[in-house]
Amino acid sequence: MLSRLLLSRGYHSTKGVFGNRPKPTSRYEGASAAVLEKRNSNSNVYRWVEAYRTHGHRVATIDPVKFQPSETSANKLPELQYTRYGLTAGDRIDPSGLLNVPQQQVLSMAELDQLLARMYCGTCSIELGFIESEEERDWLAERYEQLYQHEPTVSERREIAELMLKSQAFDQFLAVKFPTVKRYGGEGAESMMAFYWELFRCAGEADLRNIVIGMPHRGKLNVLTTLFGTRPAKIFKKFKGYPEFAADAQAMCDIASHFHTSTDVTVGGKTFHLNMLHNPSHLEAVNPVSMGKARAKQLAQNDGPYDVQGDDGYRRSAVLNVQVHGDAAFPGQGINQECLMMATVPHFDVEGTIHLIVNNQVGFTTPAERGRSTRYVSDLAKAIMAPVVHVNADDPEALAGVTKIAVEYRQKFGKDFFIDLNCFRRWGHNELDDPTMTNPLLYKVIHARKSIPDVYAEKLIAAGVFDRQDVDAISKSHQNYLTAELQAHEQYEPERTYFDKQWSGLQQPGDEVTVWNTGVDYRLLSHIGQASVKLPEGFNVHPHLQKIHIDGRLKRLAEGQRIDWATAEAMAIGSLMYQGFNVRLSGEDVGRGTFSQRHAMLVDQQTNEIFIPLNAMAAGIPNTGRFELANSILSEEAVLGFEYGMAIDSPNSLVLWEAQFGDFFNGAQIIIDTFLVSGETKWMVCNGLVMLLPHGYDGAASEHSSCRMERFLQMTDSRETSPDGDAVNLQIINPSTPAQYFHALRRQMIRNFRKPMVVVAPKTLLRLSDCVSSHGDFAPGTAFQPVLPDPDQHIEPKRVRRVVLCSGKHYYTLQAERKSRQVSDVALVRLESLCPFPVQAIRDELAKYTNAREFVWSQEEHRNMGAWTFVQPRFENMCERRIQYRGRPEAATVAVGVSQWHVKEAEEVIKTTLY
């Protein structure tokens, strides 16, 4: 059994766990006996055919703007010469069983050579040599070679040409009407219309229910208005300087090339839902978001990884993820490697993504040969053995055929597929750019050639599919339509697409801070806590966990007085599940927890099987939520982007991402900046993602000491001179008790709005004996408190001369020193919520200390870090008192790397705060 589990990529139950169902093993037994006999009896010919399959791409004519002479060609490449395999010009071959041909026929060597060259060295070529699976190689070769036996119908050719001509007409229209606007048009890449056209047809044939697309700027407006149902009037109104949202939306808006769509598409009588996501200008950042949103669709539909296998066997997911890439960005941006490494990892698998690389052959102004160190832009795909097909953009019919193969491959194998569309940019990086300054020879060729739609239209005219009047009529009709849309742009009213469907009942919050009753009867919480460590009979738990984790938790629950952090977390998650909410916790080693505190996922010490007790608790109870523990790859940017994608589509799921240490978030800074904290104001896309960032100075030097809360505070739109409300873009808390953490997690789902939340999470507090809560702290009627009063009963408010405000772990250090020195005239007030800044709660607390004359902010972080620069202006402006700083001085790094220095600094902070 152990070997079977290892082969299935990690320790998971052979029966599956929530979010990961075992996939059936392949029953492929290889080629038939007759085919093997044919290959063996014609082994030299078969070696030659395999050489074309392996090396043909190297000399394929896939470049529509080749301006440098080829170093080699098919008739020069040694691997493709039949004489190398002992064959002669006079040989005659029956290729059946060796090559996929329509019927049995005998070919001369010249005829077979010509056929192989047409298949593998023409305007389309596939790479097969790096794929280990014999089943996949045989299937791909068969389907790819069958592509050359299929001729598109007249109507199919006309539809493809019409879409490409409309795309060209759109760009030409914008060039005349909006000559100074950067539109990132599709000129030079109009063939992508054939990709989407065939994708939609295949989606209908495969009964797909959702397609989720992540796409950058290039050609985005073209496909939105030509294929995806977006009215050009919306684009034109934006270009005229108007907002894209209704007046009542609290939004700052964004540029048109970041627009999205969410619409139903009907093709061939079959309807599916299409989502093209908003994208930022950071290239490729949208890719993991599209994966996360696709997986959220699977969750909502009990589909794919969430499908409970029935009597009808394994079903492929009906939700398809599509990613469109740029040629320089795909190999250049590390997020793509991270996404590919998630492709088949449990809890991140979306059962295959179809990738289209729009290969402009120049990145901004960087020539292709200086934009990477690999032969192809697609070579990252080889890391996961995903098939790659290279297509010349002048052959949209081949692109459509390859797209059909891509969908069929994904449906059969549930794996990624790459299409490398070799095209060009007619106007450089944008329409206001002059690319000839840096790439004169390339653009001499580009400007000398006809457009891709015109080349294809002339081909169809020559074939009798079109005449010139047809082509002109298509362009003229679309120009007339665009003219009418431009005239109607002032009357166009923005659609209200937000707070619809699964977001119904939710809203944007107002300028007040609301309080939500998040308490739960302790009898239920005790039951949940007990269930969180209940194991099935015969499960071999680690002996240390039995004593410390299981027995210890049961004892604390029975007492009800010393509930620790991990137990409070389990109670929060379990109680939300009882209310029907799903919970997803993602990150590195989150099942165990970085500090070996969580153990929400237990591993049988003899079988390696895993067990998630909270899901066993929920089993059999109607309408309960489920708990998904997603141990992630060692990635921050792609994984956080994935979780953001889950959160924007799943308002009824508590989505948490835990950094292994707080400072690990900086690997995901692009996602935080461009999606998490600004997505709502740019795009009216809300999310309730929770980031758990362990924080605290423990003498372990700079790295892993700080979660850099100052950066998050600086990214909020909190006001310095008037009180914050729930409408702030980012909520930041530094809870100091398990109960506060419990209430904060539950509040995320109980409220009628969703906001992202950063939890400055503990390390040492996880096991600190003083950091506990009693059962009354969780009772009905209790809630998260933005400010915690001084609990020390020995402190008399009238005798207090100094009020110290602090946050999180630092309170316990100050309290221990105050108690040991019997300091009685200093009060310690905890700010549990940093943003929204709790002005009224602070005022109410300060009112107790009528004789206090000194107000101090104390922190363990350096002065240019932590919350000081955020707290000071708000406290002084709105609490109308001066506040002093106590903490470490300014520094260039988070913490010293010498333990003696660390201790001395800590002592100085405590001394200056209390005395």
Main-chain phi, psi angles of 264, to 5 degrees:
-90, 140
Per-residue pLDDT, 6: 38
Chain mean pLDDT for the chain:
94
| Least confident interval from 365-379, 778-792, 866-880 | 365-379
Mean pLDDT of 53-74: 84
Three-state DSSP class for residue 273 = strand
- In the predicted model, is pLDDT for residue 302 greater than 90? yes
- In the predicted model, is pLDDT for residue 812 greater than 60? yes
Kindly list the distances between the CA atom of residue 353 and the CA atoms of 298, 339, 406, 410, in Å, as whole numbers in the listed order.
Answer: 14, 10, 9, 7
Give the separation between CA 894 and CA 864, rounded to whole angstroms: 10
- In the predicted model, is pLDDT for residue 89 greater than 60? yes
In terms of DSSP bridges, do strands 366-367 and 826-831 run parallel, antiparallel, or are they unpaired?
Answer: unpaired
Per-residue pLDDT, 8: 47
Per-residue pLDDT, 312: 57
Which conformational region is residue 436 in: left (phi greater than 0), alpha (psi within -120 to 50 degrees), or beta? alpha
- Burial label for 311, CB within 10 Å (0-12, 13-18, 19+), is exposed
Which residue(s) pair with 391 in the sheet?
Answer: 124, 421
Rg (CA), the chain: 31
Residue with tokens 């200093």: 826
Give the separation between CA 420 and CA 376, rounded to whole angstroms: 9
- In the predicted model, is pLDDT for residue 605 greater than 60? yes
SS3 letters across 480-514: HHHHHHHHCHHHCCCCCCCCCHHHCCCCCCCCCCC
- In the predicted model, is pLDDT for residue 743 greater than 90? yes
Domains (range + CATH), the chain: 34-130 (no CATH), 154-493 (3.40.50.970), 522-784 (3.40.50.12470), 788-914 (3.40.50.11610)
Per-residue pLDDT, 10: 55
pLDDT, tens digit, 9 for 90 and up, residues 101-119: 877 789 999 999 999 999 9
DSSP state letter for 773: B
Per-residue pLDDT, 7: 42
Per-residue pLDDT, 72: 64
Per-residue pLDDT, 2: 37
| Least confident interval from 11-25, 237-251, 301-315 | 301-315
pLDDT, tens digit, 9 for 90 and up, residues 387-430: 999 999 999 999 999 999 999 999 999 999 999 999 999 998 88
pLDDT, tens digit, 9 for 90 and up, residues 544-587: 999 999 999 999 999 999 999 999 999 999 999 999 999 999 99
H or E stretch including 906? helix 899-914
Mean pLDDT of 211-220: 96
Three-state DSSP class for residue 358 = strand
| Least confident interval from 17-26, 377-386, 444-453, 716-725 | 17-26
